[in-house]
């Protein structure tokens, strides 16, 4: 057995094969169509949070998509948000409307995250929804895939799998990131309480994610004194980088002092 798996507290995580079978492509288009159908005027963030708008627009959508129990639901909402932001920069005449739809997608992602994790007794569901990597073409019908090949070329391939948390950070979904649920996940990842293998390797000189693992909760009482896997923890990595810089700076100053 993998030694890292032995050092983690086992949790009821979703099976990887079940995640690969969950549709993503149809979900993205369904959310896009629903948002375009229901949001037809430019509204502010406060107006989107109004009680009447919540009960007439968002509440039915939350009930509709929450019952699917699809872990990609938050990811799909943020992908649609990114689409509306990109289209707003290309169509300035309807930019306020498209930005309102982008805000609506961000608010929908927040409500779906609360609904999805609030109705679950498994604490790892929050981290799974935010950190599991998804392919936007997952579940794409063969007819649509052939059309995509005609547009993008025959060498079309599935892109890098990216998680909801990563796309929220890259697209600047500040309200989503600042929510208490997302901040809890980010804090636990930074402190090393939650361990997961990031699917994205862009910019990595030497990737350490050649073995993909599910989200795991670190058990400090069942680990050796020196655990090299903890070098992945951002908090410890930052401390080590600071110490390395301090040692190099001290050695440089010491050498310059000897030369004087």
pLDDT digits (tens, 9 = 90+) for 119-176: 666 667 888 889 888 888 888 877 777 777 777 665 565 556 888 999 999 999 999 9
Give the per-residue pLDDT at 17.
63
| C-alpha distances in Å from residue 139, one per residue of 2, 14, 144 | 31, 18, 10
DSSP per position, 240-255: HHHHHHHHHHHHHHHH
Residue 100 scores a pLDDT above 70: yes
Q: If we measure between CA atoms, which residue out of 210, 150, 171 comes closest to residue 81?
A: 171
Same domain, 214 and 228: no
Q: What residues contact 166, with CB distance under 8 A and at least 6 apart? A: 198, 200
Same domain, 42 and 107: yes
Do 173 and 241 share a domain, yes or no? no
Percent of the chain with pLDDT over 90: 43
Torsion sign across C-alpha atoms 213, 30, 83, 50: negative
Rounded CA-CA distance 28/80 in Å is 6
Q: Are residues 27 and 133 in the same domain?
A: yes
164 lies in the same domain as 196 = yes
Question: For residue 257, what are the domain limits?
Answer: 224-260
Distance of alpha carbon 187 from alpha carbon 25, whole angstroms: 30
Enter the tokens of residue 150: 């005609």
**Which region among 25-34, 93-102, 209-218, 249-258 has the lowest average model confidence (pLDDT)?**
209-218
What is the arithmetic mean of pLDDT over 181-196?
86
Answer whether residue 208 shows pLDDT above 60. Answer: no
pLDDT of residue 142: 76
| CB within 8 Å of 113: residues ≥ 6 apart | 74, 126, 129, 130, 179, 181, 182
User: What pLDDT is attached to residue 6?
Assistant: 42
Q: How far is CA 49 from the centre of its chain?
A: 23
- Give pLDDT, residue 73: 93
Q: Are residues 67 and 194 in the same domain?
A: yes
- Please indicate, yes or no, whether residues 153 and 209 belong to a single structural domain of this protein: yes
For the residues 82-99, what does the mean pLDDT come to? 92
- Tokens coding 209: 């994610």
* Residue of 127, 137, 135, 138 lying closest to 197 (CA atoms): 127
What's the mean pLDDT in 186-215? 66
Quick one: pLDDT at residue 15?
62
**Residues 233 and 158 reside in one and the same domain:** no
Residues 52 and 165 in one domain: yes
Looking at the structure, tell me whether residues 23 and 116 fall in a common domain: yes
Quote the mean pLDDT of the chain.
Answer: 82
| Eight-state DSSP code of residue 232 | G
* 160 and 250 inside one domain: no
Share of the chain above pLDDT 70, in %: 78
Task: Please indicate, yes or no, whether residues 30 and 138 belong to a single structural domain of this protein.
Answer: yes
- Over 40-71, what HEC string results? CCCCCHHHHCCHHHHHHHHHHHHHHHHCCCCC
- Looking at residue 207, what is its pLDDT? 54
* pLDDT exceeds 60 at position 211: no
User: How many structural domains comprise the chain?
Assistant: 2
């Amino acid at each position: 057995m993998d030694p890292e798996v032995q050092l983690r507290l086992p949790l009821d995580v979703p099976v990887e094969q079940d995640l690969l079978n969950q549709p993503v492509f149809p979900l993205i288009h369904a959310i896009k169509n629903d948002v375009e159908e229901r949001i037809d005027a430019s509204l502010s963030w406060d107006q989107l949070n109004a009680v009447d708008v919540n009960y007439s627009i968002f509440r039915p959508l939350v009930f509709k998509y929450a019952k699917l129990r699809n872990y990609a639901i938050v990811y799909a909402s943020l992908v649609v948000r990114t689409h509306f932001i990109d289209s707003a920069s290309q169509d300035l005449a309807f930019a306020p409307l498209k930005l309102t739809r982008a805000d609506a997608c961000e608010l929908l992602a927040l409500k779906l995250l609360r609904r999805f994790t609030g109705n679950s007794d498994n604490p790892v569901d929050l981290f799974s929804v935010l950190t599991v990597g998804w392919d936007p073409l997952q579940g794409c019908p063969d007819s649509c895939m052939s059309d995509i090949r005609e547009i993008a070329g025959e060498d079309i391939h599935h892109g890098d799998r990216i998680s909801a948390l990563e796309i929220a950070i890259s697209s600047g979904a500040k309200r989503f990131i600042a929510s208490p649920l997302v901040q809890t996940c980010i804090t636990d990842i930074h402190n090393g309480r939650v361990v997961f293998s990031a699917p994205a390797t862009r910019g990595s000189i030497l990737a350490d994610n050649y073995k993909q693992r599910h989200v795991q909760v670190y058990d400090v009482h069942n680990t050796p004194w020196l655990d090299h896997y903890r070098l992945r923890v951002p908090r410890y990595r930052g401390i080590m980088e600071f110490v390395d810089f301090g040692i190099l700076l001290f050695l440089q100053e010491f050498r310059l002092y000897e030369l004087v």
